[in-house]
Chains A and B, each alone.
Chain A
Amino acid sequence: QKEVEQNSGPLSVPEGAIASLNCTYSDRGSQSFFWYRQYSGKSPELIMFIYSNGDKEDGRFTAQLNKASQYVSLLIRDSQPSDSATYLCAVNENAGNMLTFGGGTRLMVKP
């Protein structure tokens, strides 16, 4: 069974710090990787995607992918209280676009 694993948290960081969120996946055939942010009671919102090994930066967010280690991470620089949410890692196999989600990591940014 294909799995996507995340630490459920909560991960607590002070305002202005770097938050590091991690995700591992079991299917070596996975091709596309996504990070969604989900506020309590709301639906997931896509914030980052990465297809190739290495780093991808978008504003305060950096996604990192290491296919050999089957590991993907999300860094949030200069964390703000508004970043407090659950972050979902999602992985796409090479056939079709169905996403398999991890259980999410709850991030708390304290002022």
Chain B
Amino acid sequence: EAEVAQSPRYKITEKSQAVAFWCDPISGHATLYWYRQILGQGPELLVQFQDESVVDDSQLPKDRFSAERLKGVDSTLKIQPAELGDSAMYLCASSGDRPGEKLFFGSGTQLSVL
């Protein structure tokens, strides 16, 4: 069964350091999403890609976060510098590009900033 691949599964870093997360969507899925989930809350969208183009990054803190999907396949989310409040689960998801398509999530990266 096709899955969204994410790495690393866990990341511990110190504040002010840089961190990066990687995601490979389900083959053929044109749309890729990065969500952030703080403990006890629902996932919140950070950025949405359609192929290599950003569709929505209105909730991405652009002073420290960046995301790219250069060839329209896999994607990287970076935080520099990390802050204590960035501790959360970072979830990647993908879907087809027709309206109403289901989103499938990867296993997520649990980030702890010390």
| Interface footprint category on A | 20 to 34
Q: How far is the CB of A53 from chain B (nearest CB, A)?
A: 15
Taking CB atoms, residues of chain B closer than 8 Å to A44 are 43, 91, 105
If over half of A's interface residues share one DSSP class (helix, strand or loop), that class is named, otherwise mixed; here it is: loop
Does B101 belong to the interface (CB within 8 Å)? yes
Question: Contacts A88-B42, A98-B45 known; A43 to B108 CB distance under 8 Å?
Answer: yes
Number of A-B residue pairs, CB cutoff 8 Å, is: 65
Q: How far is the CB of B17 from chain A (nearest CB, A)?
A: 23
Does B104 belong to the interface (CB within 8 Å)? yes
Q: How far is the CB of A16 from chain B (nearest CB, A)?
A: 28
Q: Which of A34, A41, A103 contacts B103 (CB 8 A)?
A: A34
Q: Which residue of A lies closest to B45 (CB)?
A: A98
Does B95 belong to the interface (CB within 8 Å)? yes
Q: Which residue of A lies closest to B42 (CB)?
A: A101
Does B99 belong to the interface (CB within 8 Å)? yes
Does A97 belong to the interface (CB within 8 Å)? yes
Q: Which residue of B lies closest to A46 (CB)?
A: B102
